[in-house]
Structure 1
Amino acid sequence: MLLSALEFIRLIIVTFAIGYIFSDYVSTHPQIHKRFDWSKIKTAITIAAPAVILHELSHKFAAMFFGLKTEFFASYFGLALGIILKSVNAPFLVFMPGYVSISQSTAIQSAIIAFIGPLANLLLWLIPSMILKYKTLGEKTSIILYATKKINMMLFIFNMIPIPPFDGSKVLFGLLSYFGI
């Protein structure tokens, strides 16, 4: 089974939390200051949730490809931190929405699985970039694609930092171990 019912519920929780957390950072209409603006949350879900959800599911499906046991977990502490920072209008945003627990893997499997998540962000950065460059679009679509491009660029770069617990460290250490360095 690709996703258990519990994992599906966790993904829904993460999706709506991400929509709320990013709702003030991305807008396709003039700023109307409401504590809970459903249209802004929907726009944020459209832009930010795929960046996080596809990143985590890419890890999960890559591990499953290798025959490993996996499970997606929501990080309720990480989501709460993001919600609190957003609620107090913090000038920065730090949160960890979820993670995939993976059974024992080899060094090269670990490196590949770790890279697949940021690879999803790289594709979600490059595809909107190409569309924006070569296609004339309406204002709302352009704003959504531009924000998608920026969020995924930041997630790709941030996640490839070779310092634990980022994916970049797992890629680096997995490759070093595989090559016996």
Structure 2
Amino acid sequence: METIISKISIMLVPALLAITMHEVAHGYAAERFGDPTARLLGRLNLNPMRHLDPIGTVAIFIFGFGWARPVPVNAGNLRHPKRDMIWVAFSGPVANLLLAVASALLLRGIGLLEATSIGDSQTFAQVANPVRMMLGFSLYINVLLGIFNLVPLPPLDGGRILVGVLPEKQAMMVNRLEPFGFILILFLVFFTDVWSLVLAPLIGSLVKLMAGPEFGVVQHAMSFLFGN
């Protein structure tokens, strides 16, 4: 029980921040391009309770990956619907990747402090160790969400970006996949080599690049949380 509580305490804030900022970014971008739907429904709010999907939230703590309730966007309100939806969709992954950069910088900053006289303090170690674990998980989950959501399949953000850049006829064909999108995503992840040969190496390489000398902290955090 103590281990479960420790894992949840490390994952809770980074996970909630990652999925909340992803959805708020969509809503903010939509409003900038003319659609106030998210604001009118109270979704331009950093309170994670307004964005949580029960199943998606539980999935984060079990699998290290999850989702929130999508922020509603009325494309008809956008000034240039087809073009503007590209930026609305792109904003979510960008928010996650910016959070990943911030997490990496903070992780490296703690590593630099540890090499100074401050790092010799027992109090520093007691505070820094769990914070480093949180930052390590934050770096991982935000890179994962940012990259995975760019997979060009609806209802992922990458699918919406693809619809925005394709000619009308091809865009309509891709849109027709949306009802089956979740099934296709599961198929790609569990029954093809897309995850193992493309996504996982890309995510791992980006996390390693961002973490730099603190990559071992990320590995330790993921091993503690998921036993990998």
Q: Shorter-chain TM-score: which interval?
A: 0.5 to 0.7
Deviation per residue, 1:17-37 (Å, 9 max, x gap): xxxxxxxxxxxxxx7256xx4
**1:136 partnered with 2:113:** yes
Is the contact between residue 128 and residue 148 of structure 1 (CA under 8 Å) also seen in structure 2? Answer: yes
Query: Counterpart in 1 of 2:207?
Result: none
Cα distance change, pair 81–47 in 1 and its aligned pair in 2 (3 A):
closer
Q: Name 1:122's counterpart in structure 2.
A: 97
Structure 2 equivalent of residue 66 of structure 1: 33
Matches within 5 A, 1:40-51: 41-51=8-18
1:100 maps to a residue whose letter is V
TM-score (norm 2): 0.52
- What's the counterpart of residue 109 of structure 1? 84
Contact 1:79–1:95 (Cα < 8 Å) also in 2: no
Greater Cα radius of gyration, structure 1 or 2:
2
Can you give the 5+ residue segments of structure 2 that lack an aligned partner in the other structure? 44-48, 115-127, 172-228
Give the total of aligned pairs: 142
Residue ranges of structure 1 left out of the alignment (5+ in a row): 1-30
In 2 relative to 1, CA 164–150 (structure 1 residues): closer, same or farther, beyond 3 Å?
same
Shift of 1:149: 0.2
Letter in 1 for 2:133: I
> 1:68 Cα deviation (Å)?
0.7
Instruction: From the two aligned structures, give the one with the greater helix fraction.
Output: 2
Give the distance between the partners of 1:75 and 1:46, measured in 2 at CA: 14
**For 1:24-43, what aligned pairs fall within 5 Å after superposition?**
32-33=2-3, 37=5, 41-43=8-10
CA RMSD of aligned residues (A): 3.2
Measured at CA, do residues 155 and 33 of structure 1 come closer, stay the same or move farther in structure 2, by a change above 3 Å?
A: same
Which residue, out of 70, 78, 82, partners 1:99?
A: 70
Q: 1:70 to 1:168 in 2, by over 3 A?
A: same
State the one-letter code of the partner of 2:113.
T
